[in-house]
Amino acid sequence: MLAGLALMGGQAGAAPTPPPGSPRGGNAAQHGAGIVSKTDLQVWRAEGDGNGRLGRYKPARRPGYYGIGTVPSAAQIAGWTIAVPPGGADLPSGSGTAAAGAAVYASDCAMCHGAFGEGAHDYPALAGGVGSLGGSSPERTVGSYWPYATTVWDYINRAMPFYAPHTLKPDQVYALTAYILNMNGVTRSDWVADAASVPLVRMPNRDGFDWSDPRPVTHNTACMEACVRPSSIRITSSAVTMHLTPRMTGPVDHMKSGQ
């Protein structure tokens, strides 16, 4: 239903242009500041500098050695620098409330994400599931799973609505952020989303992630003989009995009824 609509529109040849009034340039203070826990910040810094290896890195050439290319203008950089880190750097000016977001949501979002954020037609749910992650049927939604509210703003802005991505105005994105956070009980209905307030929202699952990779967590050995008792080997599942596999020869099988 949504497939392919406007996916190619406007992208080819578009020069980077800035949204009004946005600060740019990867300001360090605005990056990890605010809501990020000290533990996570330490993990990220250690990962980023390769546990100290980065300090010993020697560039092969001085900056500008090859002299190929141009220096982009501030406006060009601003237009393409849309990624918003947890500290809120590069959030544009503008604001929005849940009430304003409800109207945008109804017209642009509800057809896929459901009237109440419950999801529809197998598209993801946005709300619910808070407290479910450790249970037998965990539900991953914006409210239950996403660790940072800035990601909500960022993702709506860059990729939504699915059929016409990056076409909403900053006020609309702020309003949708307020609406979806309120839908999840994370913010109150009168909360105003803007560049200052969004980075300060503490999401329920902020501390639910370990960003340091614990692997290896399996420790198999390259045993060559009598590795397991033959009598212990039992087939626990067989795909041939599942009837989930499309036909693997001839034209691509779309598994549509009547095909």
Partner 1 sequence: MTKRNRRDVFRLGAAAGATVIAGSVRGARGAAPPADNAWSNSLGHGVDGKPYGSPSPFEKSVVRRYVPWLSPTRDADASMTPLQDQPGIITSNGLFFERYHAGLPQVDPKAFRLMISGRVKRPLLLTLDQLMRYPSVSRIHFIECPANGATEWPAAQLNSLQLTHGMIGCAEWTGVLLSTLLDEAGLYSDSRWVCATGSDGAHMNRSLPMMKCLDDCMIAWGQNGEAVRPEQGYPARLVVPGWQGNVNVKWLRQIEVGPEPWMTREETSEYSELLADGTSLGFTWVMDAKSVITFPCPERPLTQGPGFYEIRGLAWSGRGKVRHVDVSLDGGVNFQRARLDHPILDKCLTRFTLPWWWDGKDALIQSRVTDETGYVQPTIVQKHRFWGADPVYGNNAIQTWQVLASGAVNNVQLS
Residue 141: alpha-carbon gap to chain centroid: 11
Told to check if 245 binds partner 1 by CB under 8 A, we report yes
> For residue 202, what is the DSSP state?
B
Residue 193: beta bridge partners? 96
Residue ranges in 70-129 that form contacts with partner 1 under rule CB under 8 A = 70-72, 76-77, 80-87, 89, 121-123
Binding residue for partner 1, selected from 38, 215, 257, 258, defined by CB under 8 A: 215
Told to check if 63 binds partner 1 by CB under 8 A, we report yes
Nearest Cα neighbor of 193 from 102, 93, 90, 96 is 96
Told to check if 257 binds partner 1 by CB under 8 A, we report no
Residue 186, CA distances (Å) to 59, 118, 221, 232 in order: 45, 16, 47, 50
Told to check if 258 binds partner 1 by CB under 8 A, we report no
To partner 1, the closest distance from the beta carbon of 99 in angstroms equals: 25
Count of residues in contact with partner 1, rule CB under 8 A: 118
Binding mask 155-184 for partner 1 (x = CB under 8 A): x--xx--x--xx------------------
> For residue 227, what is the DSSP state?
-
To partner 1, the closest distance from the beta carbon of 202 in angstroms equals: 14
Backbone angles phi, psi at 111, to 5 degrees: -65, -25
Residue 155 to residue 161: CA distance in whole angstroms: 10
Told to check if 211 binds partner 1 by CB under 8 A, we report yes
By beta-carbon proximity to partner 1, the closer residue of 118 and 190 is: 118
Residues in contact with 88: Cβ distance below 8 Å, sequence separation at least 6, in sequence order: 30, 33, 34, 150, 195, 196, 198, 199
Which region, judged by CB under 8 A, interacts with partner 1, from 93-101, 173-181, 191-199, 236-244? 236-244
